[in-house]
A and B are shown apart, each in its own frame.
Chain A
């Protein structure tokens, strides 16, 4: 460590024991931190990964244990105190002390907030039995169990999660309807052209799409079990299982009176600092992206890891702003899609490699001539190479794009 670095803290407390939290802990050790380390998580499970929950775990293709982030021995070797099944309930900012639901008082020199998101419930509360949300392993188990005997699934919400679950359920042979406000599923995340292809793929595989529609209410039978979804357009769709996938909100309830700025996430500076000795990483963090010159919050797996590495660096005194190229992937039917950059609805889209008709291509999105995003469809390597140009744009210190997230 160089002499200009701040002294390393004596105790780091990481709140949220999932992708961003565990990676922060690992990165601290890797970067030479030898002080004490506590990882506090609300869930009972050892840290596990979420992307397989809507794919291999939901389909049953993977044993649940394949989704663990690290084997228990690896976590053991971290030399961290792992406190699971006990959510943080309160943060005293000046004292840097976290109180947990079970009444623990944890004082630290540095606190890392990595509590992710909570899914938005359907209007009017939890809904009748057979209504599901999907964020956790327990959610995935419950949904998988219901799908095993389901005859009709209705997915409310046409974002990434809704589209993925519709694809997985359909592959399991379940009669599936996907509805949402957009003209094509995931149009906001993919742009219209690729989203139209995704819609075709869903239709070809037997998913019923109801674009431009929404759920006005959930209908229950006499046993308080869901029996249908009343559509905004009027009719009732019969259903015995419903997934509500209408987005998720940052899990910051425990920070309400902490004095931190909460504005669609924990607001941070360019170094992911939320306050004196307090940092945030992953889906919950909204930080100042120096190249985009505005606060950004990303809900994707690559960011959880990369931002955790950045936070570990910041804690140990590296003065490097965090300014990644946003990227995510999704797997649905026979399509593996990669997106780099920021999709904007009015970008000019050109196929630069492959052919959409052949099921493999890379498309470049440009606004006023400048590359803003790259979408790869079954061409992950080629998409990454085409996206290299974005790295240069995103590593500039000044505003690089006027696109909005």
Chain B
């Protein structure tokens, strides 16, 4: 799985970090999401899909 994060769409809600903390974090200074792992392992896939689902800015795109 590959993860693409569009930081300029991100509204800093942090939902992705709650859903998949191994793959996403937020910058301390402005809360914009950062991708910790653009190609997460299979065991995180479900969490990452959930992160993409709950993102209120639709800033997370996934390719299998």
- A and B part of one assembly: yes
Query: Would you call B17 and A380 a contact (CB within 8 A)?
Result: no
CB-nearest residue of chain B to A378: B30
CB-nearest residue of chain A to B15: A302
B12: A residues at CB distance < 8 A: 329, 336, 338, 380-381
Name the prevailing secondary structure of the B interface residues: loop
Query: Would you call A327 and B11 a contact (CB within 8 A)?
Result: no
Number of interface residues of A (CB under 8 A): 26
Pick the contact of A329 from B13, B17, B26, B58 — CB < 8 Å?
A: B13
Interface residues of B toward A: which range? 20 to 34
CA distance A66 to B57 in the complex (A): 11
Query: Would you call B14 and A381 a contact (CB within 8 A)?
Result: yes
CA distance A381 to B12 in the complex (A): 7
CB-nearest residue of chain B to A387: B14
B26: A residues at CB distance < 8 A: 380-381, 384
Q: Is B4's CB within 8 Å of the partner chain A?
A: no
B43: A residues at CB distance < 8 A: none
CB-nearest residue of chain B to A74: B61
Q: Assuming the A-B contacts A302-B56, A309-B53, are A51 and B11 also in contact, with contact meaning beta carbons closer than 8 angstroms in the complex? A: yes
CB pairs A–B below 8 angstroms (24 shown): A23-B53, A26-B53, A27-B53, A51-B11, A69-B58, A301-B56, A302-B13, A302-B15, A302-B56, A309-B54, A327-B13, A329-B11, A329-B12, A329-B13, A336-B11, A378-B30, A380-B13, A381-B17, A381-B26, A381-B31, A382-B28, A384-B14, A384-B18, A384-B26
Instruction: List chain B positions with a Cβ less than 8 A from chain A.
Output: 9, 11-15, 17-18, 26-28, 30-31, 49, 53-58
Instruction: List chain A positions with a Cβ less than 8 A from chain B.
Output: 23, 26-27, 30, 49, 51, 66, 69-70, 301-302, 304-306, 309, 327, 329, 331, 336, 338, 378-382, 384
